[in-house]
Chain A
Amino acid sequence: MRILPRTINWLDQLEVLSRQSSIAHHWDARLKILLCLIFQICVISFPAYSLSGLVPFLFFLVVVIRLSGISPLILLKGLLPILPFILLLGIMNPIFDEGRFYLTKHYSISLGWVSFFSIIFKSVLTISAGFLLIATTGFYAICQALKSMKVPQILVTQLLLTYRFLIELLHQANTYQIAFCQRRGIKKPSLREWGAITGHFFLSCMMKSNHIYQSIYARGGENPVFFDNNKINLSPVQAIFSLSFFVLMILCRVVNVPIWLEETFLN
């Protein structure tokens, strides 16, 4: 019932957070996008059974959270609605992957469970990194940075308008939900009602998108420009810091740090 208004509020919260002032906020948006991408590629490219190797990547998130002053609770709020989908992704692994992973000589768990937790961990890390990027930069600034990184204008514009339209859709869906509940109570809609609501929802979305298109067309013509040319905001300190982050991430990807520490210090 309350998931739509919560999602809308949470998205707003991310945009409001992006207006704050901190080291992470003042960082050049292009660097942040690059670092976020490298982070996500490093995390995703880990083998399915390498759970321990992912742990050091938490360090990067913690550093950005500390630098930006953003509460981890906000990231958690965003992760919770997505969690069921992540669980669905990996839920079959423990059933079909019956190999054994030996923790000690006597204790072992199924490789399916290892890959299941690995999927959850990877998803949480990559999605949190995306959320942090939006919360420290703002969606418009991200799109602006993408454009200055020579990403085709059509893609960036699509991204910006899709994000804006998504918020409008959520508002619209929320209004429909309230209107439905007022007359029908908390009972779930029947299949026929679902059909009618969905059909009407899509029609009104089409009309809405047509109106927004007209508004863009009236002010921007046939080839509207959505971003002005932003100045380069890159300082040597930012470059050095980003480079060290980049090197550390690659190191953490190439070397399984927990195993390396164990071998170096415990042996």
Chain B
Amino acid sequence: MSDFSLQVKNLDFSYQSSPPVLRDVSFTLKQGEVLGVLGGNGSGKSTLLHILAGILDVDAGSAIWNEKTISSNHLNELRSKIGLVFQEANNQLFMPIVRDDVAFGPINLGLKPDEVSARVDQVFHELQIAHLSDKLTHRLSGGEKRMVSIATILTMKPELLLLDEPSANLDPHARRQLIKLLASRPETKIIATHDLDMAYELCTRCIVLHQGRILADGTPKEIFANESLLDEAKLEQPYLFLLNQLKESRMV
């Protein structure tokens, strides 16, 4: 039995007749850890999450979640354990009404109608979105769509939560609400984001992707202290980190 819940080894991936998107990506993750996947546009963050969700199959290497190889062949067993929240909330929601969309996952896990209903109500209560239950999915605001997208995944009670740019297009209030929600969730999480302040607040560890390769792997403090690394990966030091540094230097 391994110490790690997730083991990613030498992953290579390319879309049809295109240059490789991921090259030799390896990392591990312990139960309950929150991993930030950082990197500029086109660095392969979303692709990595799609692979870890079992939607895309790798060209070489492997990804193993609790001793189960992640691939589209095992999707039926994996989808109750690994949940992906898409970058575009519009792509995540495909049913006309919010409640039906949130219930889609549990129905497909083969749960009884009463159990489905109980799970949906519980997640609505936890996320405080019960008032959206009967609304049309395409008429929700950006923040509401994001919350509903997360609800669609949480109803499946995943062990690993994959979030692709969760704070994109959110106003400050909705973003703060989301950070609070994610901080309160016990699941192991992988968050691909450009929002470095959020990564600094939420993540226990970060990896930096650049042109499909891992440039660095460490704690947020270690990563954000390395300016040349951030520069190479087209990132910037987050304000929260700078503020903390300033506070620490004044205290000294």
Measured CB to CB, the residues of A under 8 A from B are 12, 15-16, 19, 138-140, 160-161, 163-164, 167-168, 171, 208, 211-212, 214-222, 224-229
Contacts and interface: CB of A to CB of B under 8 A. Distances in A.
Most chain A CB neighbours (cut-off 10 Å) among B50, B103, B108: B108
Contact of B90 (A16, A168, A216): A168
Interface residues of B, number: 34
B108 A15 contact: no
A161 B101 CA distance: 12
A218 B104 CA distance: 11
28 contacts: A15-B136, A16-B136, A139-B96, A140-B96, A160-B96, A161-B94, A164-B94, A164-B95, A167-B138, A171-B138, A214-B91, A215-B94, A216-B94, A218-B53, A218-B54, A218-B55, A218-B79, A219-B79, A219-B104, A219-B108, A220-B79, A220-B105, A220-B108, A221-B76, A221-B79, A221-B108, A228-B113, A229-B113
A260 B54 CA distance: 68
Interface of B: 50, 53-55, 75-76, 79, 83-84, 86, 88, 90-97, 100, 103-105, 107-108, 113, 116, 134, 136, 138-139, 152-153, 156
Given A214-B55, A228-B103, A140 B97 contact: yes
A221 B88 CA distance: 20
B89 to A, nearest CB: 10
B160 to A, nearest CB: 13
Contacts of B107: 225-228
Contacts of A217: 55, 75
A164 B136 CA distance: 11
A218 B56 CA distance: 10
What does DSSP make chain A's interface, helix, strand, loop or mixed? helix
A225 B108 contact: yes
Contacts of B95: 140, 160, 164, 226
A12 B139 contact: yes
Contacts of A214: 50, 55, 86, 91
Given A211-B86, A218-B55, A228-B107, 11 more contacts: A15-B96, A163-B96, A164-B95, A208-B91, A211-B88, A214-B50, A218-B79, A221-B75, A221-B79, A224-B108, A225-B107
A65 to B, nearest CB: 23
B138 A220 contact: no
A19 B94 contact: no
A210 B207 CA distance: 28
A259 B26 CA distance: 83
A111 B103 CA distance: 55
Contacts of A229: 113
B96 to A, nearest CB: 5
Contacts of A208: 91
B30 to A, nearest CB: 24
Contacts of A228: 103, 107, 113, 116
Given A140-B96, A218-B53, A218-B79, A168 B138 contact: yes
B122 to A, nearest CB: 17
Contact of A215 (B54, B92, B96): B92
Most chain A CB neighbours (cut-off 10 Å) among B76, B94, B134: B94
